Amino acid sequence: MHNHYNGLKTAGLFGSIFALLILVGYALAGARYVWIFALIGLATTAYSYWNSDKLAIRAMRAQPADPQQFPQMYRIVEELSQRAGQPMPRLYVSPTAAPNAFATGRNPEHAAVCCTEGILQILDERELRGVLGHELMHVYNRDILTGSVAAAIAGIISSVGQMLMFTSMFSGGRDDDRPNPLVGLVMALLAPLVAAVIQMAISRTREFDADEDGARLTGDPLALASALRKLEAGVARAPLAPTPRLQNASHMMIANPFRPQDVSALMSTHPPMAERIAQRFFADAGLDVEVTSAGITDEEHANPMDPRARAVLNRRGYDVRPHTAHQISAEEIRRADLVVAAEPYQVQTMVRMAPSTRNIVLLRDYDPSVTPGTPLDDPWFGDESGFETIADQIEAAMPGLVAAIRK
């Protein structure tokens, strides 16, 4: 089970984008013909589902990967597939210098993973393993179907929006047959934009799950973070031309193939308990360290500390002066000497925000009693005992973090 309920979010977003398609159909054709647009949506969904393993491969001109020519890629995917207890997908290589990778296919039995020649050249084996673990989890979580269907419906909405604009302005016939021109114009302008935003939100929820599950699969969450830094620079040096075919497939790729990625995160971090606990440990060690905390979303912006966290800190004798939440920025990440994340997906999100940085670490990696890559528990949906648990986890990591900073 995912900590962030991304499956529920995805279902809600799909409901929203399908409802938008129906609304656009109603505005264009009226209630009598809105069923036509529902059928169009279902037909497009079925087509995207059945052909999702072919469209992106064709767009990238990819060819089946020869095991003799690409033994490392084969070895990694075979090992990770066996570890996941899932079928091994077909492997392809695209003859392009732009570094990228994607997974495609309607289900794990009819899936493919494609790497470009560029990514195989710039990543070492550990980094490639992180990327392939991420892509395999897209396959096993059936994210390719999700993304393909969302893109198809968004494309229909954009096309219908253009038709709606033309119909509203130039259609003839009786006034009672013609759509309201003002409503048509507003829908034509706003519907494609809203559809694109919903599509991006669906894609983002699936990326977070693939980050988290891929890190579990490989057991090395920082490998993907390292790969993403190289990919950001590599794509900037060798972007792909934004042809219609590639634009339709770009949502599947691990890095935006056309321009440097501008990723804004949607998840909030844990409450500022780590900040308070770290301040105490650093002070006790005689270290002059400025400690601040932030989230990677504006969801909690300007909110005070959670009362459950405040109660736990009070009982343990920590400073609980007033705190106001804020969203971390790329500039804050670059300016900090060290950025300590609570969960692996936060590491990867912040690397995407500030790809040139080398200062992002995972808190529990400093606790020798746990496996590297272990996240802090998320106490948000539980009672106060969950905050006691993460206070214990933070305190257990502090001696290792203090020792690292002393160096």
Residues recognised as catalytic: 135
Q: DSSP code of 369? A: T
Q: Is 347 left (phi over 0), alpha (psi -120 to 50) or beta?
A: alpha
Q: Which amino acid is at 93?
A: V
Cα radius of gyration rounded to whole Å, the chain = 24
Q: DSSP code of 206? A: H
Angle CA 5–231–370, to nearest 5: 50
Report the 10 Å Cβ neighbour count for 361.
17
Q: DSSP code of 327? A: B
Distance, in Å, from the CA atom of 352 to the CA atom of 342, rounded to the nearest integer, reads 16
Q: Which of 45, 48, 51, 53 lies closest to 108, judged by CA?
A: 53
Report the 10 Å Cβ neighbour count for 392.
12
Q: Residue 104 pairs with which residues in a beta bridge?
A: 112
Torsion from C-alpha of 219, 221, 222, 226, nearest 10 degrees:
110
Distance, in Å, from the CA atom of 95 to the CA atom of 351, rounded to the nearest integer, reads 27
Q: Which amino acid is at 66?
A: D
Do 17 and 154 contact (CB within 8 A), yes or no? yes
Which residue's entry shows tokens 């966290």? 309
Q: DSSP code of 69? A: T
In total, the chain counts a number of residues equal to 407
Q: DSSP code of 365? A: G
- Distances from the Cα of 88 to the Cαs of 58, 74, 106, 234, 249, in angstroms? 20, 10, 14, 28, 22
For residue 235, what are its two tokens?
């794509």
Q: What is the DSSP string of 40-54?
A: HHHHHHHHHHHHHHH
Q: Which of 262, 246, 116 lies closest to 200, judged by CA?
A: 262
Which residue's entry shows tokens 């979010």? 9
